[in-house]
């Protein structure tokens, strides 16, 4: 969550957005980083979920059925962020969740900057929860 904008260098904040895929599939609660500078508003999908999202889109194929997909059932990070968003009143719980999210994101950034593919894969697996 401490990531700086690649365009203007301002702080970026992680928010959840609904993303449309091929105008038919609504993917709910995708974590994206948005620049806090009003003149920039640069937006990008959080690195750590990019693979999960790519996989999901590949599985949907080029001509998907009209549907809604809850990304928080696919991605642990998204799930944690949804939990956080639902804890507006309880500051302590929210802080604990935010700490966990920050820790995982920091570790992923570190693995990424070291170019450690194995570690990145491991962290992604930790972040990915398969719901059966």
- Binding footprint of Zn ion on the chain (CB under 5 A): 5, 7-8, 10, 35, 37, 40, 42
Residue matched to tokens 């992923």: 108
Complex with Zn ion: residue 11 or 116, whichever CB lies closer:
11
Are 104 and 77 in contact, with CB atoms under 8 Å apart?
Answer: yes
Smallest separation (angstroms) from Zn ion to the CB of 4: 8
48 half-sphere exposure, CB direction, 13 A CA radius: 30
Give CA–CA dist 104/12, Å, rounded.
17
Give the Cα separation of 75 and 2 in Å (integer): 20
Nearer to Zn ion, 25 or 40 (CB): 40
Is the CB of 7 or the CB of 54 nearer to Zn ion? 7
Q: How far is the CB of 32 from Zn ion (least distance, A)?
A: 13
Q: How far is the CB of 31 from Zn ion (least distance, A)?
A: 18
């Amino acid at each position: 969550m401490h990531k700086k904008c690649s365009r203007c260098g301002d702080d970026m904040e992680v928010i959840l957005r609904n993303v449309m895929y091929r105008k038919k599939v609504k993917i709910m609660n995708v974590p994206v980083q948005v620049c806090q500078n009003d003149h920039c508003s640069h937006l990008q999908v959080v690195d750590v979920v990019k693979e999960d999202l790519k996989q999901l889109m590949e599985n949907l194929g080029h001509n998907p059925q009209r549907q809604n997909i809850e990304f928080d059932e696919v991605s642990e990070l998204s799930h944690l962020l949804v939990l956080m968003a639902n804890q507006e009143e309880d500051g302590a719980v929210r802080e604990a969740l935010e700490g966990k999210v920050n820790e995982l994101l920091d570790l992923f950034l570190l693995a990424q900057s070291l170019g450690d593919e194995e570690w990145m894969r491991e962290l992604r697996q930790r972040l990915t929860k398969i719901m059966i």
